Structure 1
């Protein structure tokens, strides 16, 4: 399966096959967990039609589905063992899984009376001679019809890697180690070297080059290593002779044009023999084949090809002295005395062909389903010249050509003589390169953007208005909660080349794109449309999109200009969020589809399905459990890697309770302090309230920092290392109402530099965190009571904002409730006193709203004041406690696998 959403299709397919192929089998009950992949209308309809009873486990009770859970516990260790033994990349874990399951089905088990599952199902014992070592090397015969003319001197077999057993033919499945094609062949047409495999890094880079458009430089010969066994660790260790690499050379290969058929090997294959290795192959022949360099030529077309085998070459007698072998990688040449180790087979090698190979559709689908990733760093060029010198030049060039084609399609400019610019300044431009990644950090696309140097524009000459609103993270969390509470789909769309849709009013001239000049330097581009880099480009695009949405009946909310609502008869039917060119549509699947179709009439939209990854935040929606998770695990991993902290030790708190007073000597060293604090601030904004106070503290020193502050920032990274899988969890309530609560707190005279207090608040909707903040107060409070009162006024602004969103969305809610832990401040919010006459009028907002009954203020014990985490450095116990109260917790992967489901026709 490529996705968990395909489970319904394959489950129905399996039940149909059982009923058709085995008359005695008829599924009567379907028992599963509460995973979203099993909660589809299609599956329910099928089971109702066939009279099958659907039964699920209780939440978080895997023991109720013990048979399947135990099966997973049996299979996964064997997959790990295969991959550790062969050092194959994780990209091939799906093939290892199929191989393990097929092998287990053929082995006898005690519960079945020492019969195998295969024998119990088919009534006949399986042929165990067909079992082979997964990931081993094999030479697969090339049929004459598949050879090119004038290639009489070329090899007659392909050096391949065994992937497992073919389901479509009676044969094995191989990966060609030169062309990266997946081929099938019967056992008689393949010669196996079960003690050896290809180097895992080589296989990994081969897959990436062919199916992910990477440009790894592969060696001209295939590096071969011995498969690790229990004896390997005993003889020679990890660096012993058994692990020495081999280079395959054509000189070592005894080749024959027409080899004789091995004695006793039948030409045909019995119907019940899968994959169909000849029964007559004697153990002597099998033994000789392991130590010789002979090739068994076989077919990749059909299982009916003749089973041709060449005569075994007589292996030369080896001396006992240590020999030096050519190594592709770093190896040791230790020889362990006391053991007689058989010499490795002399395996011929074929040089890599220069001609391009047609991509195999089967493996392309496989890579998308199981891999779809680029491992390793991709250096992003900053100039056109660097892109040309990059090993990824073909990808960058293709991205630039695609960008130019889009620009021409939108009629973004027209070429005019330079003299047409008159006294106007011709602005230069540049190429900006990037790679697009998914929620797991895997590269999905190479991107190139032509950007004009907008910093050379002059206000009043070639631009005026620049304002363009974008939605806030707090609004996104509230909007998605609103949608999931009503059972709506949350679908993501991307507007391609969004800035090119707006018409440009000002007269602007630009140089031709670097590397793609259509005419000589005497011609320049007269811009007709907005372009990336122009100061007014975001404003023009937002104005264009807003006009379109208004014609479709959407209203922009006053609480956030990035949120639109479609109302009918006073009831909200749809929501739409806008962050530049990233759109979220929320509503029924039918209404989302209709709205997207209307938008596509004016803009080119990319449909991305149910929201999974938005603005660097992974969004997981578990509808059966009614949970939403916001996680930035991959972002944390990337930040740790960027600052060389990937292998650092974690710590339990983001900051020390008592800051260091050690004096650091002055240094001229340039530290990436501002960049690091900026990266951490993005984490705070999106999903990590637990580091808000630490990052606010670090932000004070952006213009005057030293090694002490950089060490404090690195401590936050160590904390993230220990909690990188943490994220905000929202438990969606039943019904369509909302309960608004805010916690307010202050730490009096916290800052030793100016003795100002720190305010903090956490705003919750139905007990789920929506917004939070940690800020230094603008005034010097004269008492703890005054500091708490000022903090309440700051918190009141946020709860009133959320209340405004609820009112605009016709979201019923009781009067918001504010919690504080200072009785004096709570008293001041209800009635004035002489001790408050000096406080500025703006801080009395909380009192006015209490009088208007727009909110209620009540007391909360200090031990339950979750906002403490926003105002001061805390110990590990309190950090963990308040983190739990905010549902800022780990276990993101558990929530993901518990029932994360995508948008679709049946399940959204």
Structure 2
């Protein structure tokens, strides 16, 4: 036998302690709820006498710890009279009382899950423990016996026809009050368990606010009802408090040293329940849209897919908002992947570490400029004010203006602290010092930052902690699906974990690897006579591959080419897509390497095929940008219009920075850009394409001819043989850490 308590929340009956008694042979369990420890001796004596008289059983031995409630003169005298031996575990050695200790934990964890699932207040903990004990006695626990504790103890199989879901809605027949002809004959209730003294149910009468025992109950198990809004973290705090044993020795016993019935449990990730303190209950206003609310549950994962936090978040159903009434501005800038890669390339060049922090419940910090009302969340309706709604003081997840409100709040704070917003990238904030610089990149509620002076990073961390609740996540290892490893000589970016997940998702883990994602010559067309395939499967595979191109430029062209056939995919298209997966099977960990010793000069390559698409004869234009050999941007795109010459195909290029050396393998395109002349063969080129000429004349860029064999952008316009393909990805800074 063992005790747990005191519980920080009294039960409905005012109890704070629980006495747990377990039969060692059958594991049949009894629980008794007490107001204080001093009530234990009387309860134990009564229990022993009941076993003798009602069950004709003799208690021979009792094992417990050295708690004064179990080791006292009253019990010693009684046990001596009955001839019961009392065994005690060693001091601070709960393993020696493993059967009872383990049952304690099992009951508490079951009760915690039941309260959480039913969303009941913690004051119902005793009812949950009692019901957990009742059902576990009727469940298979000791597998070697192939019988339940109930059957082992009572020599008959238990009936389970009367079992119902804990916390479900029930309706109690009112046969006590003198009712009028038109008065309701039932009262709303909550099912809490089973009586220990009669064949009745224990239910909570919501109108009377009392627990009753009755057989006249009808159950609605489609969904539970909830008497009080509450925070599940209170349940976790209640349950976790019983598992903290003070002064635990620093050496842990190995599993083989543990006694029967006592086993180690792996640590469970913390659960975060977000009940925002940003709302005020108010009567429902007239002529105002009331926005619904709901709970969203999700797991936060690290770079290897381990759950690091369980989150339950209250969100608004923003699709009911009306523009101009409930919101005005919704746009919020989001960092592009090119900006993230540029940030990492600069960090590698300047040889400083990049760190990551996470703002907890970031959107709840956003300030609202409009009056917004949301309904009480389902299953958390206040019974005293069921018609009240919540007026939001700050933003709530799900509101259309929430991202904008959070960005405005954070950017205003950073600007007030001396940061300067990027002129091109509005999610980049910089703070310059005489000899150092601090950079901060924002992606909604995730922030990465770094500095040439490590002390500035520490100061920035303290600055953010002074204003927001946040968690420091250390050196950047995982961001927007990218796995990032920071070394002394540079930074490596890949998506190896995601590749393995893709292969497993589409059942291609056993496929034969290929050395290239596609083989020349290009033969893919619409294939009108081909056999159709599952559109959902095809689009899912393409979507997964497009996500992978964030760190895999080697599959950019092959993926974009296959993506053109998503409307009506055929078997030939699916086979071509699977070839990309077979290539990934052989190169799962291939990624981008940013070396610190490669400089930081911007270089661009431009290339294009001529009428490469067999369907509409449009050309594919490609380009890539390198900062000192660090590939930060690449593109492969079918042109919007049909090219009538290779010169126009090469000419479709965008300018991003000044003084860019652009390498092109088409002399006609270079001549048109450098010479402001028009003739009949070039008049078809639209005015917008001469955007590049203006930059050439201003000296912003320099065009250079590069032989085709050294054209790095060739990777993004056509299929290549193995030798040239491997040469190009190597020149672009891609490598395999396993090689």
| SS class of match (2:378) | coil
1:433 corresponds to: 297
Cα distance in 1 between the residues matched to 2:715 and 2:249? 53
Cα distance in 2 between the residues matched to 1:222 and 1:633? 41
Cα distance in 2 between the residues matched to 1:177 and 1:643? 45
Q: Which one of 607, 614, 617 corresponds to residue 472 of structure 2? A: 607
Provide, for residues 467-487 of structure 1, a one-character-per-residue CA deviation record: whole Å limited to 9, x for no partner: 111112222222223233333
Cα distance in 2 between the residues matched to 1:365 and 1:781? 75
| SS class of match (2:536) | coil
Aligned residues: 519
1:494 maps onto 2:365 in alignment: no
Provide, for residues 694-743 of structure 1, a one-character-per-residue CA deviation record: whole Å limited to 9, x for no partner: 22123324444455444433332232222111111111127xx6211111
In the alignment, is the contact (CA less than 8 A) between 1:472 and 1:562 conserved in 2?
Answer: no
Provide, for residues 113-150 of structure 1, a one-character-per-residue CA deviation record: whole Å limited to 9, x for no partner: xxxxxxxxxxxxxxxxxxxxxxxxxxxxxx99789879
Provide, for residues 377-421 of structure 1, a one-character-per-residue CA deviation record: whole Å limited to 9, x for no partner: xxxxxxxxxxxxxxx9x989x846x211xx12xxx2111223x2x
Q: Which one of 281, 297, 301 corresponds to residue 415 of structure 1? A: 281
TM-aligned CA distance change 1:403 to 1:857, over 3 Å: same
In the alignment, is the contact (CA less than 8 A) between 1:650 and 1:719 conserved in 2?
Answer: yes
Provide, for residues 524-564 of structure 1, a one-character-per-residue CA deviation record: whole Å limited to 9, x for no partner: 22222111111111111101111001111111111211111
Cα distance in 1 between the residues matched to 2:287 and 2:497? 50
1:577 maps onto 2:441 in alignment: yes
2:732 corresponds to: 886
1:865 maps onto 2:711 in alignment: yes
In the alignment, is the contact (CA less than 8 A) between 1:503 and 1:540 conserved in 2?
Answer: yes
Scaled by the length of structure 2, the TM-score of the pair is 0.63
2:347 corresponds to: 483
What's the Cα RMSD here?
Answer: 4.0
2:721 corresponds to: 875
Q: Any unmatched runs of 5+ in structure 2?
A: 1-62, 103-112, 114-135, 150-240, 256-265
Provide, for residues 574-631 of structure 1, a one-character-per-residue CA deviation record: whole Å limited to 9, x for no partner: 11101011111211221111122222222112111111111111111101xx111111
1:751 corresponds to: 613
1:474 maps onto 2:318 in alignment: no
In the alignment, is the contact (CA less than 8 A) between 1:671 and 1:710 conserved in 2?
Answer: no
Provide, for residues 332-375 of structure 1, a one-character-per-residue CA deviation record: whole Å limited to 9, x for no partner: xxxxxxxxxxxxxxxxxxxxxxx9865878699999xxxxxxxx
In the alignment, is the contact (CA less than 8 A) between 1:756 and 1:777 conserved in 2?
Answer: yes
Cα distance in 1 between the residues matched to 2:624 and 2:414? 33
* C-alpha deviation, 1:766, in angstroms: 0.7
| SS class of match (2:274) | helix
Whose strand fraction is larger, Structure 1's or Structure 2's?
Answer: 2
Whose helix fraction is larger, Structure 1's or Structure 2's?
Answer: 1
Cα distance in 2 between the residues matched to 1:844 and 1:530? 46
In the alignment, is the contact (CA less than 8 A) between 1:179 and 1:357 conserved in 2?
Answer: no
Cα distance in 1 between the residues matched to 2:254 and 2:470? 27
TM-aligned CA distance change 1:668 to 1:848, over 3 Å: closer
In the alignment, is the contact (CA less than 8 A) between 1:491 and 1:586 conserved in 2?
Answer: yes
Q: Any unmatched runs of 5+ in structure 1?
A: 1-142, 159-172, 181-208, 210-216, 224-245, 251-354, 368-391, 804-814, 895-908
In the alignment, is the contact (CA less than 8 A) between 1:576 and 1:586 conserved in 2?
Answer: yes
* C-alpha deviation, 1:846, in angstroms: 2.5
* C-alpha deviation, 1:636, in angstroms: 1.8
Cα distance in 2 between the residues matched to 1:155 and 1:220? 24
1:819 corresponds to: 663
TM-aligned CA distance change 1:696 to 1:399, over 3 Å: same
1:841 maps onto 2:687 in alignment: yes
In the alignment, is the contact (CA less than 8 A) between 1:554 and 1:564 conserved in 2?
Answer: yes
In the alignment, is the contact (CA less than 8 A) between 1:629 and 1:727 conserved in 2?
Answer: yes
TM-aligned CA distance change 1:424 to 1:858, over 3 Å: same
TM-aligned CA distance change 1:619 to 1:649, over 3 Å: same
1:619 maps onto 2:484 in alignment: yes
Cα distance in 2 between the residues matched to 1:699 and 1:712? 11
TM-aligned CA distance change 1:430 to 1:673, over 3 Å: farther
1:828 corresponds to: 672
1:648 corresponds to: 511
| SS class of match (1:436) | strand
Cα distance in 2 between the residues matched to 1:780 and 1:579? 38
Higher relative contact order (CA 8 A, sep 6+): 1
Cα distance in 2 between the residues matched to 1:556 and 1:890? 36
2:428 corresponds to: 563
